[in-house]
Amino acid sequence: MILFVRSGKDMIIDGWFHERGELWPGQAMSLKVKQVLDHHRSDFQDILVFESESHGNVLVLDGVIQVTERDEHAYQEMIAHIPLFAHPNPKKVLVIGGGDGGVIREVARHKGVEEIVECEIDEGVIKASKKYLPTLAVGYDDPRVTVQIMDGAKFMDENQEAFDVIITDSSDPVGPASVLFETPFYNAMYKSLKPGGIVCTQGECMWLHLDLIKPLVDSITRTFTSVEYAYTTIPTYPSGQIGFILATKGHASCKKPAREASTELLEELKYYTPELHEASFVLPAFASRAIFGNGN
Ligand code: SPD
């Protein structure tokens, strides 16, 4: 029985990586391993990168799949483009976490954005991505990007009313990322937003984590103007689905794009479309009832 093991390499058995974790008891996602490219412990977590048989290179942190080259766009595009298109004119964007660079790659597609700050606590993730996930780490090449290696809450404390959009691309609420799912962190994001600003965070899975999503949504509804939940499908995350919490400061709703996407930008994307933007907020009845106590 391998539950609660945090060394990614110990989760490779007979040539297969099995993602078992306490947040999805009784189920596992398995990928066939071609070769292990890197395995070490940073100051913060266990970092494993392997080449898979079917999904390209895979980044695993503390035993949990963060990115596969095959389906990463389904997550990175939606967590970035939903808030950026919901905002009428985003100029300054903060990305917390997301050290692999995939989210900043997406933010950088918005020509009107003038400044992108990436705040990642673990430089080891950035280094691993630059070496083994170059199609994600390409985000770091954009001249508008600056990188802060520090705690996101501390950075926001020092930068109040500074950002139009804040995206928190975190791992799951176990270990270093657990504070990112708590009310004080959302309060810090609220303070760091400019009026009219939008927050979009990794909001976990409606099939597995309603008991985590519901109290968080209830609690931050007291502070933010609107709080909504959208989701994407992604085969290599637990149960094939992951959500996003969209919370605003003075902005009524993120459900519709506030501006038109250029054909040029849309042609670069593999997942996000303006139609999917709106559709991603339409929840199955069980999830809508559990999170918001009603239909959509
Ligand atoms: N269950 C895994 C959730 C991981 C979310 N973050 C992924 C980082 C991709 N940039």
Q: Is the pLDDT of residue 178 over 80?
A: yes
pLDDT digits (tens, 9 = 90+) for 232-266: 999 999 999 999 999 999 989 999 999 999 999 99
Instruction: Kindly report the average pLDDT of the chain as a whole number.
Output: 95
**Residue 222 backbone phi and psi in degrees, to 5:** -70, -25
Q: Report how far residue 125's alpha carbon sits from residue 256's, in angstroms, rounded to the nearest whole number.
A: 33
What number of residues does the chain have? 296
Encoded amino acid at 43, one letter: D
| Percentage of the chain exceeding pLDDT 70 | 97
Q: Compute the distance from residue 278 Cα to the ligand 1 centre, in Å.
A: 22
Residue 180 CA, ligand 1 centroid: distance in Å: 13
pTM, entire model: 0.96
Flag the least confident range among 3-7, 125-129, 149-153: 3-7
**Residue 10 a catalytic site member:** no
How close is the Cα of 25 to the center of ligand 1, in Å?
Answer: 18
The closest-lying atom of ligand 1 relative to the alpha carbon of residue 75 is: 9
Ligand 1 atom at shortest distance from the alpha carbon of 98: 10
Q: What is the pLDDT of residues 215-227, one digit of tens each?
A: 999 999 999 999 9
Does position 2 have pLDDT exceeding 70, yes or no?
A: no
Is residue 245 within 8 Å of 231, Cβ to Cβ? no
Q: Whose CA is nearest to atom 10 of ligand 1?
A: 98
The reply to whether ligand 1 has any atom less than 6 angstroms from the CB of 66 is: yes
pLDDT of residue 148: 98
Ligand 1 close to Cβ of residue 169 (< 6 A) = yes
Query: How many angstroms separate the Cα of 288 from the Cα of each of 97, 182, 282?
Result: 28, 21, 8
In terms of pLDDT, which residue wins out, 103 or 294?
103
User: Which of 20, 118, 132, 171 for mutating ligand 1's site (highest number of atoms within 8 Å of CB)?
Assistant: 171
Question: With DSSP H G I counted as helix, E B as strand and the rest as coil, what are the percentages for the chain, rounded to 5?
Answer: 35, 30, 35
Taking the CA of residue 101 as reference, the ligand 1 atom at the shortest distance is 10
Model pLDDT for residues 259-281, shown as the tens digit of each residue = 999 999 999 999 999 999 999 99
Residues 122, 164, 169, 172: which is the catalytic one? 169
* pLDDT, tens only, 135-171: 999 999 999 999 999 999 999 999 999 999 999 999 9
Token pair, residue 181, equals 């799912």
Give the pLDDT score at 174: 83
Segment 65-96, tens digit of pLDDT: 999 999 999 999 999 999 999 999 999 999 99
- pLDDT of 175 over the 80 cut: no
Per-residue confidence (pLDDT) for residue 282, from 0 to 100:
98
